[in-house]
Amino acid sequence: MRQFTHILKKELKDFFATPIAYIVITIFLIVTGWFFFSTFFLYNQASLRNFFNLLPLIFAFVIPAITMRLFAEELSKGSYELLMTMPVTFGDIIIGKFLAGLVMTAAMLLPTLAYPISISFLGQLDWGPVIGGYLGAILLGGAFSAIGLFASSITHNQIVAFIVGAAICFTLTLIDKMLFFFPEAILNMVEYLGADFHFSNISKGIIDSRDLIYFISVIFIGLYGTYLVLLQKE
Amino acid sequence: MIHVDNLTKFYDSFCAVDGISLDIPKGEILGLLGPNGAGKTTTLKMLTGYFPPSSGTIAIKDYNIQDHLLKIKQMIGYLPESSPFYKDLLVYDYLDYVAKIRGIPADERHTRIKYLSDLCGLSHVMHKSIGELSKGLNQRVGLAHAMMRDPEILILDEPTQGLDPNQIVEIRKIIRKIGEEKTVIFSTHILSEAEATCDRIVIINRGKIVADGETENLKQAAGREAAIQMTLANASFDAVSQTLKPIDGIESIEKIDETDDGRLSVKLISRSDTDRREEIYKMIKAMDWILLEFYQEAKTLETIFRDLTRQINKEN
């Protein structure tokens, strides 16, 4: 088996052995559940659109909270030294930790599958956008995990890692809502940078290669940035 | 086995390790000694491939560390100074993780972990999380971690730090046992430990090697002069001085103490290539002195270490 799978498993074990996992998942479910269902019945529509609209904003602070410890903790405790003296490459470490962040995000999303299932009993649910929404959520989770991982690699302090990660994720989420601040010439470019813009396309059930490329590039940039930071530490 | 040539490490402009060259054959236990901040840990970290040297080369067997880092990491087991492990994992889970990452096949993993836990005395804490363990137990987890893949080279950074005397003896025993077949390099600032455990000692100070040799040779080389202490009754210092001074090889005689009831302690310094104990005794016997104590001061590494490191620090 490839080395990164061992790191992935260890991270998951570490994550689920401590209360952080359960606290983060619980908070996520309470916040999404409350905001979604508090207005759900007013709309009188069997759709998850509002849930998916909320998701980027909530992810922007929940995912950095998951990923903040991935590197920062190792750096502050010194276990990074042990990791580096084992026969693993930077690639193994980064991929393993990134996938750990992604799996945790997926674990967090899993209980929310109860929403579409229960809603499908209430009315005619269009499954297209739901499937698109979950696919988009995984992509978004991946992009934010990569950013969070990068934030975690630049500091020994988990709180700093969280704040930096959340700040970047928030910016990407909100930037396409601030378009009126930007000159017309770069409007399209700024809009293209917005994570929320791409996510809302996918969550409508439209899977466009531009949106896929956006998320994959953000993941790549995040992970490559992390790689450069680790290289710098030598 | 290990060939280090002109190894240098700069932290910004501070030179932590300055041109160290070493050849370590297979099966040697090498003790790296030095005062705090001498560059021991930095040297060890470069050997493990944790960070690359600023200049100089490290080769293990025929592998160069620049090109075969992964290969070298596989050959080395490393115990870092403060044994920093994942505090939330259980000891068993942690060792299992190390076994996996070190590529031990699934069917051997359990036996290997069992063997190491017995060897390092961890069997009764396997189900505890590492954060709950005492310093000594943590150190043993580190040792098990380092020995997981039965490495050809074991690098231990202050392995006995923070252990109680019984544990220190145990760890030393383990090191000696491993050292029968493997190459072991460990750093320490406890001299007696190096003396008791190592085949060869390298003393470094301010990033440079100041002494390098087999433990026995080093000890002998240190004693250019030997000291004999004795306590006499019924003798005066002047008389003793006059009687013993003419013996060939005695360079000086010092009075250490003289008590009211007539006991005199003196220290004789002689060249170490001559043994004058018999003659001294005969002289004392000829006089009417009563010999209460007579012993040759053993030259310890401590003296060498202090001489070497102090001298250089004074020069700078």
Max mean pLDDT range (A80-94, A134-148, A185-199, B183-197) = A134-148
Which regions of A89-176 does DSSP assign to beta strands (E)?
none
ipTM of the complex: 0.83
CATH number for position B117: 3.40.50.300
Residues B32 and B161 reside in one and the same domain: yes
Tell me the per-residue pLDDT of B47-87, one tens digit each, with 9 for 90 and over: 888 888 888 888 888 888 888 888 888 888 888 887 788 88
Which residues of chain B are within 8 Å of residue A77 when distances are taken between CB atoms? 84, 86-87
Return the structure tokens found at A73. 């903790």
- List, in sequence order, every beta strand (DSSP E) within chain B: 2-11, 14-24, 29-33, 55-60, 63-64, 76-79, 153-157, 183-188, 200-205, 208-214, 225-233, 250-258, 263-271, 290-296
Chain A residues with CB-CB distance to B85 below 8 A: 79, 82
- Same structural domain for residues B77 and B134? yes
Percent of chain A with pLDDT over 70: 100
pLDDT of residue A203: 86
Looking at the fold, whether B24 and B133 belong to one and the same domain comes out as: yes
The CA distance from B102 to A110, in Å, is 33
Give the list of residues 6+ apart from residue B78 with CB closer than 8 angstroms, or none. A82, A85, B44, B48, B146, B154, B155, B156, B157
Give dist(CA A230, CA A71) in Å, integer: 10
Q: Which of A7, A10, A86 sits opposite B102 (nearest CB)?
A: A86
Q: Give the domain-ending residue among B165, B199, B221.
A: B221
What pLDDT is attached to residue A42? 84
Identify whether B82 is part of a domain: yes
Residue B306, domain member (yes or no): no
**pLDDT score, position B313:** 57
- Which residues span the domain enclosing B292? 224-298
Model pLDDT, residue A43: 80
B25 with B85, same domain? yes
What DSSP state is assigned to residue B297?
P
The per-residue pLDDT for B167 is: 78
CA nearest B86 in A: which residue? A79
Is B74 found in the same domain as B30?
A: yes
User: What confidence score (pLDDT) does residue B46 get?
Assistant: 87
Q: At what angle do helices A49-77 and A195-203 cross, to 10 degrees?
A: 130
How does pLDDT run across A50-102, given as a tens digit for each residue?
Answer: 889 889 999 998 999 999 999 999 999 888 888 888 888 899 999 999 999 99
User: Looking at the DSSP assignment, which residues form a beta bridge with residue B201?
Assistant: B31, B213
Give residue A112's pLDDT band: very low, low, confident or very high (50, 70, 90).
very high
- Compute the distance between CA of residue B123 and CA of residue B113 in angstroms, rounded to an integer: 10
Q: Could you tell me if B172 and B286 lie in one domain? A: no
Q: How confident is the model at residue A40 (pLDDT cuts 50, 70, 90)?
A: confident
Residue B303 falls inside a structural domain: no
CATH number of the domain residue B260 falls in: 3.30.70.3190
Q: B interface mutation test: which of A74, A77, A81 has the most B CBs within 10 A?
A: A81
The answer on B202 and B132 residing in a single domain is: yes
- Read off the pLDDT of each residue in A15-37 and give the average, rounded to a whole number: 88
Same domain flag for B248 and B116: no
Contacts of A85 in chain B (CB under 8 A): 48-50, 73, 76, 78, 80
Which residue of B86, B93, B152 is the best one to mutate when testing the A interface, meaning the one whose CB has the most A CBs within 10 A? B86
Q: What number is the average pLDDT over the span B130-155?
A: 86
DSSP SS3 for B260:
coil
Bridge partners (DSSP) of residue B232 are B264, B291
Cβ B97–A6 below 8 Å, yes or no? yes
Residues B254 and B192 both lie in one domain: no
Same domain, B6 and B23: yes
Does B49 contact A84 at a Cβ distance shorter than 8 Å? Answer: yes
pLDDT of B214-263, one tens digit each?
877 776 665 556 778 888 888 888 888 888 888 877 777 888 888 888 78
Residue at a domain's end among B221, B240, B275: B221
Domain end residue (candidates: B206, B221, B236): B221
Q: Is residue B313 part of a domain?
A: no
The rounded distance, in Å, linking the Cα atoms of A123 and A130 is: 14
Counted domains in chain B: 2
> Do residue B190 and residue B276 come from a single domain?
no
- CA angle (B52 as vertex; B9, A219 as ends), nearest 5: 135
pLDDT tens-place string over residues B257-293? 888 887 888 888 777 667 778 888 888 888 888 888 8
Residue B312 scores a pLDDT above 60: no
Residue B264 domain flag: yes
Query: Distance (Å, rounded) from C-alpha A202 to C-alpha A205?
Result: 5
> Mind listing the pLDDT tens digit for each residue in B201-217?
888 888 888 888 787 77
SS3 state of residue B104: coil
* Rounded mean pLDDT, B115-129: 87
pLDDT value, residue B83? 75
Residue B242 is assigned to a structural domain of this protein: yes
- Residues B202 and B236 placed together within one structural domain of the fold: no
For residues A68 and A152, is the Cβ–Cβ distance under 8 A? yes
Q: Is the pLDDT of residue A1 over 60?
A: no
